[in-house]
Amino acid sequence: MSDHDHSSTDDHREGYNFAHPMPVPMLLTVFCILVFLTIVTVAQASFDFGSIDVAIVMGIATIKAIIVALFFMHLLYDKPFNLAIFLSAFVFVGLFVSLTLSDSWLTSKDFIPVDDAVITSTVE
Amino acid sequence: MSTIEAKPAGNDPESVNHGSDAHGDHDHDHPSFLAHHFETPEQQYDSGKLGIWIFLVTEVLFFSGMFCAYAMFRMLSPEVFEGCSQFLNTKLGAINTGVLLFSSLTMAWAVRCSQTEEYKKLTGMLAATLSCAMVFLGVKAIEYSHKFNMGILPAGFFQYDPAHPHIEDGPNYLMWLCLPFALFLVGIVVWLAVAFFQGDKFKVAVLKPLTVVALCFFVGVGLGMFLEDGSGESHAALHDEIGEHAVDDHLLDEPIDVLASSDHLSEEVTLGQTEYGVVERLAGDTTNSGLLGELNARAAQAEMATGSVILNKDGGVDATIHATPRDFLTPSRAGVFFSIYYCMTGVHAIHILAGIGVLIWLLVRSVRNDFNRQYFGPVDYVGLYWHLVDLIWIYLFPLLYLIR
């Protein structure tokens, strides 16, 4: 690898030594936490938490998403600017979803056309 | 271009002074991987990364449209989502989540390998990521073909019938879904054989892991079949359960109507609307459903006439389109759920396919030893994309499969 030899002489120079390899134990730990959280999500589905159900599911998913973003996607060690860009996406998603939902909540009760028979009636 | 130039200046002051002193030697030792318009590998890497983050933002916004549709329809008819979610096999979904998480791990590890210049390991990690992607698609093929065979299709095509869940004379969907991957496998194997006899070591080194990758699709299909068979009985039980559930709903509907109407009646009395007095008394008898409906309709009209905002209150008003049976298993309602299901998981699967494409490109380049500690950008960028696809699945899985 001629590039390799080349780079070893460059390592002391600025702008040439910027790689930040993630330690393997950390990657494995993150993976284990993610699998554990997946099991928790599946397990909680068999309990009835009533109306906070969706909140719990979304909460666990968001924790997983944050872990993936911080460690697998290197955001923890990345330039804050990239984090700001990524987070800005969610600001707009929040605006989009909340405005659309509140609108459909207020104006349309149910716009799925229901003109068909219930299929389950054939069971009896 | 202006962003790229402006970014280091605005972002880290180090590269500003660096820019001035590095200008001199920048011409004669420009590494081959460094594009001529960049001063240092770091600048090249950072600008590429900014680009990929902006692309990921567009991806998030793109998927948010579908999540919004999901939220809207779930809010309007939660029982449809609850009921239809029972048709999705949680085991397959959970296995696929695990497979995707593992592929994320191998991808992150691949990025590390490219930074530490472990070339053999990098190729292995990329192949592992690709294999996981193929297993994921194999399991998906089983899920999809199973539903197609039962007539569980998007709105407009939905023709599920609990009495005859399996449509006998339908096409063999699984075969058609597997066909492109079988062709891919055959193509790779033939190419590998040709390259082997020609003594092309580079092609052999690329095609060997790709053969394993192509085989992994069928590993996924096998895994999916195994898990789907295991849950065959519970599926049958589920059909019965759903049938009963629907019947229960029917029986329950009436008492709820009565309760709702009695509420309205008391309100009306306190409001002094005595003109309906006789009608009210007659409607007190539950057999007089017509009168009851009329009263409810009048109450609803009066409520709307006040001009205040009515928040999705379902007062059990009869004789309007809203009062048609609210069972989840009607073609239009279940069809809407499955439209959303196929749309979201299908677009996600397309992203997996695109990911497979770029990962194969990375695999070829990693066999060519293209990457080093100063030039690992492509691996990192594909990694970021891959993690985003994983991230979307992290939300899709509980939202679609784990509704009670």
Tell me whether residues B53 and A86 touch, CB distance under 8 A. yes
CB atoms near residue A25 (< 10 Å): 8
Residues on chain B touching A120 (C-beta within 8 angstroms): 162, 242-243, 246-247, 327, 329
| Cross-chain Cβ contact B18/A21 below 8 Å | no
Question: What pLDDT shows up at residue B138?
Answer: 96
Q: Using a CB–CB cutoff of 8 Å, tell me whether B238 touches chain A.
A: no
Nearest-CB residue to A27 (from B7, B109, B160): B109
pLDDT of residue B280: 64
- What is the structure's pLDDT at B266? 42
Distance separating alpha carbons of residues B140 and B159, to the nearest angstrom: 21
Q: Which of B109, B243, B335 has its CA nearest to residue A30?
A: B109
Chain B nearest-CA distance from A46, in A, is: 8
Q: Report d(CA B153, CA B336) in Å as an integer.
A: 9
pLDDT for the residue A52:
83
**Which neighbouring-strand residues pair with A12?**
none
Q: What is the largest CA-CA distance in chain B?
A: 101
Average pLDDT, chain B: 78
Which residues in chain B come in under a pLDDT of 50?
1-26, 232-274, 312-325
Q: Do A119 and B331 touch (CB under 8 A)?
A: yes
Structural domains for chain B: 48-231+327-402 (1.20.120.80)
Would you call B398 and A92 a contact, using CB atoms and an 8 Å cutoff?
no
**Residue B372, beta-bridge partner list:** B375
**pLDDT, tens digit, 9 for 90 and up, residues B30-45:** 788 888 889 889 999 9
- Which pLDDT score is estimated for B252? 39
Give pLDDT, residue B160.
77
HEC readout, chain A: CHHHHHHHHHCCCCCCCCCCCCCHHHHHHHHHHHHHHHHHHHHHCCCCCHHHHHHHHHHHHHHHHHHHHHHHCCCCCCCHHHHHHHHHHHHHHHHHHHHHHHHHHHHCCCCCCCCCCCHHHHCC
Give strand pairing partners of B237. Answer: none
Q: Do B397 and A41 touch (CB under 8 A)?
A: yes
- Looking at B81-223, which runs of residues are DSSP E strands? none
Interface membership of B358 toward A (CB under 8 Å)? no
Does the beta carbon of B208 lie under 8 angstroms from any beta carbon of chain A?
no
Given a cut of 70, whether residue A64 has pLDDT beyond it is: yes
Q: Is the ipTM of this complex over 0.90?
A: no
Give B22's contacts (C-beta < 8 A, 6+ positions apart). Answer: A13, A14, A15, B39, B40
At A2-34, the pLDDT tens digits run 444 444 455 567 777 888 888 999 999 999 999
